[in-house]
Amino acid sequence: MKLILLSGGSGKRLWPLSNEIRSKQIIKMLFDENGIEQSMVQRVYHQIKQSQPNADIVVATGIKQADSIRNQLGDKVDIVLEPERRDTYPAIALAGAYLAYEKGTDLDETVVVIPVDPYVDTNFFEVMNQMDVAVQTGNIDIVLMGIKPDEPSCKYGYIVPNGMPNAFGVMHVDRFIEKPDVLTAKALLGEHAAWNSGVFAFKLRYLLNAVKKELSFSSFDEIYDSYNLLENTSFDYKIVENCSSIGMIQYYGEWKDIGTWPAISDVVGNNVIGNVVIDNCDDTNVINEMNVPMVVLGAKKMMIVASPDGILVSDKTMSENIKQYVDYIDMKPMYKDKRWGKITVIGHGGDDEMQYLTRHLVIHANMSTSYHCHFRHSIVWTLVKGEAEAIIDDVSQNLLPGDTITIEPGQYHGIKTVKESELIEVQVGDEDIEADLSERILEW
């Protein structure tokens, strides 16, 4: 059995912590059994490994999220990168081609697709073993995991079964209902309908045959190069709802979709994270990623969140609709997780002819940035903490706190740390300052 972990998303539902680079699944707002902060992708990945230590996992994600995924899951994590952000159908198709052509997976092996944002207990991942057995032994092309509803919710799609479970716990699927009204949802519970968890299982051969009806390819590179030709739609609409042989296995444990602020609040409780003073507040979450203190007094049922990207002050219920308001905000991300550490933008500005960008870089011990150059702007580095080695055009220079170094346009450069280090970086160049990059070596 191969597992595809879907880790995409536009990064708007948890603004201002999430952005197009720092998607919701890599924000550390959850806590493990030892009280240590963890992200959604870390939680799900480690739960799978606890349930199935030898699980073969491929993470499907975008190029902009790759550094963050490696930072949190380790350099050995197997990642398939989308050339551009698209919906779940093309993402799963690409990951399937990667399994077949790059990893040599047997085409009759079961593939299970899992989103990274459910909040579940470990029994959730035990159900995947049942799905594997059902795919391999039954006459079913796709097996879905349904969630036993605890209320007639309008937030989720429903899977309506036909008949009773067979010997493998599988019920045949009669139809799908997408986010019904309350009355319809109540009626669906009487039909033993389940919420659609977004977890699918099928043989790799079935997926590839379905995709090849739309796009002919015989290698991973071919589908990668033609990625934009795949229909930009969900796997449910493109594949599942056009399949004539679908089964469902129900999961009865804890399940929450934690893709919105109210859902996060339900999981973490009335939590305070960061430099915050709070008093006489009720049912209120406060998260402060800034270096300046925040004081919150007498707030009731609110989400208050501050990051380098912005500040959210919202009624907790209203915060679920943040995405439609963020669409009006035209601002580049001010925070990035990197393979080697993190970047925070301190300031930027300029005019049509000249731009400046000031950033704070934190580089973990014994890590290095890529070896790269910029052709249209210069850089000044000042080491403020730690110890590092800078390389400029293959010439090495040791850096200690207070040391400053200048990189001219066209000079290849990189930095490698001896211990965790912090830099202040000032870039000056034309209006395409962030796009002006040529990498020679990613790791050295």
Mean per-residue pLDDT, 140-148: 94
- Strands 355-363 and 413-429, sheet pairing: antiparallel
- At 266 the pLDDT is 87
Extents of the domains making up the chain = 2-257, 269-326, 340-441
Residue with tokens 């902009």: 64
Mean per-residue pLDDT, 184-208: 93
For the residues of 423-441, what is the DSSP string, one character each?
EEEEEEESTTTTT--EEEE
- Mean pLDDT over all residues of the chain? 90
Question: Is residue 79 a contact partner of residue 70, using CB atoms and an 8 Å limit?
Answer: yes
Q: Same fold for the domain at 2-257 and the one at 340-441?
A: no
Question: Is residue 182 a contact partner of residue 152, using CB atoms and an 8 Å limit?
Answer: yes
Question: What is the tens place of the pLDDT at every residue in 322-375?
Answer: 888 888 887 778 888 888 999 999 988 888 778 899 999 999 999 999 999 999
Q: Which CATH class is domain 2-257?
A: alpha beta
CATH topology of domain 340-441: Jelly Rolls (2.60.120)
- At 145 the pLDDT is 95
pTM of the model: 0.86
Q: How confident is the model at residue 199 (pLDDT cuts 50, 70, 90)?
A: very high
- φ/ψ region of 338 (left if φ > 0, alpha if ψ in -120 to 50, else beta) reads beta
- 204-212 vs 88-97: helix crossing angle, rounded to 10: 120
Question: What is the tens place of the pLDDT at every residue in 277-320?
Answer: 999 999 999 999 998 999 999 999 999 999 999 999 999 989 98
